[in-house]
């Protein structure tokens, strides 16, 4: 289902500009691609991502990746401890069939407990405003005011969510997603949820030294056809690069 020949795909590149030190930080693949091939074999054989557990949970089956939801990105970060021991971290992008976490995989940057505490109240406010809007005529001035109010509620909720993301770097600094993002315009949906941010964030928290990072797509090709099964890709320009410079700050490459 996949090729194990590294020369068939371009090298992955994980990088971003850091405004704090006016430097573009770059982390190469190192040996991460080799570990990705090992992970591919496991996914191909076990057909689930919760393979470290003895009890299979249907929601973690890889059938999900080949259905209507289509595939998603997976990544490996090879790291070393202060004593030189090698540590392999793995991550999947976004949520997996609605689940933020799975045993053996890096956790999200988002404080999910806080998110699910706030979500019901904010969601109810937005839906209640929407119900009021639907009761009014299209050209009613009150309707226009409520539409604007709903927009502001949604924008504030997104800002609050971004502040629930804890972004670490290798200088020992911590910022929210809103503080660490340096892209132009608003923060795009899914920023901070890709593999590279999850991997680097967890490594920084564990005080590990990154040696190499690689990401591949697994499952049915995406809607645009830009991502294919078992193919490696570099970090995305829109969502990842605007925070990866900050996150990579402090990485000492030998």
In contact, 235 and 215? CB cutoff 8 Å: yes
pLDDT recorded at residue 254? 55
pLDDT recorded at residue 11? 73
Can you give 129-182 as a three-state secondary structure string?
HHHHHHCCCCCCHHHHHHHHHHHHHHHHHHHHHHCCEEEECCCCCEEEHHHHCC
pLDDT recorded at residue 13? 81
pLDDT recorded at residue 152? 96
Separation between Cα atoms, residue 152 and residue 158, nearest integer Å: 10
pLDDT recorded at residue 56? 87
Give pLDDT < 50 ranges for the chain.
1, 3-8
pLDDT recorded at residue 10? 66
pLDDT recorded at residue 7? 38
pLDDT recorded at residue 190? 93
Predicted confidence (pLDDT) per residue in 77-116, tens digit? 999 999 999 999 999 999 999 999 999 999 999 999 999 9
């Amino acid at each position: 289902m996949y090729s194990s020949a590294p020369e068939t795909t371009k090298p992955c590149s994980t990088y971003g500009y850091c405004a704090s030190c006016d430097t573009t930080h770059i982390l190469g693949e190192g040996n991460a691609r080799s570990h990705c091939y090992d992970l591919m074999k496991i996914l191909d054989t076990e057909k689930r991502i919760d393979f470290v557990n003895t009890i299979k949970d249907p929601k973690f089956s890889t059938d999900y990746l080949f259905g209507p939801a289509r595939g998603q990105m997976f990544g490996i970060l090879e790291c070393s401890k202060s004593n030189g021991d090698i540590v392999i971290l793995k991550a999947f992008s976004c949520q997996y069939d609605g689940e933020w976490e799975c045993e053996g995989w890096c956790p999200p940057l988002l404080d999910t407990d806080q998110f699910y505490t706030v979500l019901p109240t904010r969601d109810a406010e937005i839906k209640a405003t929407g119900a009021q809007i639907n009761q009014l005529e299209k050209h009613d001035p009150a309707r226009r005011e409520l539409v604007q109010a709903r927009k502001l509620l949604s924008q504030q909720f997104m800002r609050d969510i971004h502040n629930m993301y804890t972004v670490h770097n290798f200088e020992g600094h911590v910022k929210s997603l809103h503080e660490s993002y340096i892209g132009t315009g608003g923060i795009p949906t899914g920023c901070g949820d890709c593999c590279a941010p999850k991997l680097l964030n967890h490594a920084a928290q564990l005080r590990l030294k990154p040696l190499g990072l690689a990401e591949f797509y697994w499952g049915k090709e995406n809607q645009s056809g830009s991502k294919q099964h078992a193919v490696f890709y570099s970090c995305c320009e829109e969502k990842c690069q605007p925070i990866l410079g900050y996150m990579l700050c402090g990485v000492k490459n030998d």
